[in-house]
């Protein structure tokens, strides 16, 4: 029986986004505060996922051995380092979150049966790399607070209460929504980026956070005048709002995850490949409720 096991590690390091072939003004324009000398640092958290068959001892791998490999090949070299100088790969392609994960994969792949390298730069920014050349995934998270009422205008109050329970109460209720937006793209061979992070954050702010925050969704967002603002419908609407603006940035919207509460969340997968894998031959996003 095949199983995937995960090992967590961490390291602290600094880096700077700076291309010597660009002028100071051009570097500032492209990388903003990340271009400042001598750089800035992060407490990186790393998750290594590995697949294999269970052995006679009930293990895929001896995690003590895995820990040693990760320390020897990665964390002992990166911890308390200046990433631009520590590995030669970062001379050619800047040590962005996306590219660090890709290069970590390259260092570990000869030693471990990898299926994913996930690297958190901080709790609101992380990347997933699966060994597919320069293809990578970048996730940013944010939040907004909003109220809603789960009730269809096409149904009676009695029927709404039957379907939605106390969520159909006439004055609604609120949530602190946590939103995760994942984009997919090719890592630029020089900048190390799959998308301009500042531009991506601005798109999410302009299309979602600013218009949604501190609203009563049913009344303040026109789309929900007739559509019941369930977590699923909110996530689907957000995916439709973000798809084109993110494509204009040169990347592809891959997933929208909306966490309504610690107990309820849903995910919308926005790529045709995911739709096909779920036996959906249309261009509609695929929903997963967790």
Residues catalogued as catalytic: 167, 214, 260
The residues pairing with 286 across neighbouring beta strands, listed in sequence order, are 269
Distance (Å, rounded) from C-alpha 263 to C-alpha 243? Answer: 27
Does residue 180 contact residue 141 with C-beta atoms inside 8 Å?
yes
Q: Who contacts 81 (Cβ-Cβ below 8 Å, separation ≥6)?
A: 13, 14
Alpha helices in 55-212 (DSSP H): 63-70, 76-78, 83-86, 89-92, 97-108, 157-164, 197-204, 210-212
Give kind and range of the element (H or E) at residue 31: helix 24-31
* CA–CA–CA angle 73, 74, 78 (5° rounding): 135
Task: Read off φ and ψ for residue 149, nearest 5 degrees.
Answer: -130, 130
The Cα 214–Cα 216 span in angstroms is 7
Among 280, 262, 263, CA closest to 271? 280
């Amino acid at each position: 029986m095949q199983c995937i096991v995960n090992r967590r590690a961490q390291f602290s390091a600094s880096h700077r986004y700076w291309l010597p072939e660009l002028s100071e003004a051009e570097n500032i324009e492209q990388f903003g505060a990340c271009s400042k000398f001598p750089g800035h640092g992060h407490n990186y958290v790393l998750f290594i996922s590995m697949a294999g068959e269970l052995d006679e001892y009930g293990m895929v791998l001896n995690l003590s051995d895995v820990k040693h490999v990760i320390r020897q090949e990665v964390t002992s070299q990166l911890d308390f380092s200046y990433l631009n100088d520590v590995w030669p790969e970062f001379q050619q392609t800047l040590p962005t979150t996306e590219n660090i994960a890709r290069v970590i994969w390259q260092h570990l792949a000869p030693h471990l049966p990898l299926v994913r390298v996930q690297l958190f730069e901080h709790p609101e920014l992380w990347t997933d790399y699966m060994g597919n050349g320069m293809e990578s995934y970048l996730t940013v998270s944010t939040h907004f607070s909003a109220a809603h009422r789960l009730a269809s205008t096409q149904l009676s109050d009695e029927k709404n209460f039957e379907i939605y329970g106390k969520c159909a109460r006439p004055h609604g209720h609120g949530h602190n929504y946590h939103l995760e937006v994942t984009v997919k793209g090719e890592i630029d061979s020089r900048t190390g980026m799959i998308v301009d992070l500042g531009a991506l954050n601005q798109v999410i702010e302009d299309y979602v956070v600013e218009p949604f925050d501190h609203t009563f969704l049913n009344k303040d967002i026109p789309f929900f005048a007739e559509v019941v603002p369930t977590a699923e419908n909110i996530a689907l609407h957000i995916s439709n709002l973000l798809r084109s603006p993110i494509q204009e940035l040169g990347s592809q919207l891959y997933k929208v995850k909306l966490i309504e509460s610690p107990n309820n969340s849903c995910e919308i997968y926005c790529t045709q490949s995911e739709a096909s894998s779920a036996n959906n031959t249309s261009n509609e996003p695929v929903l997963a409720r967790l």
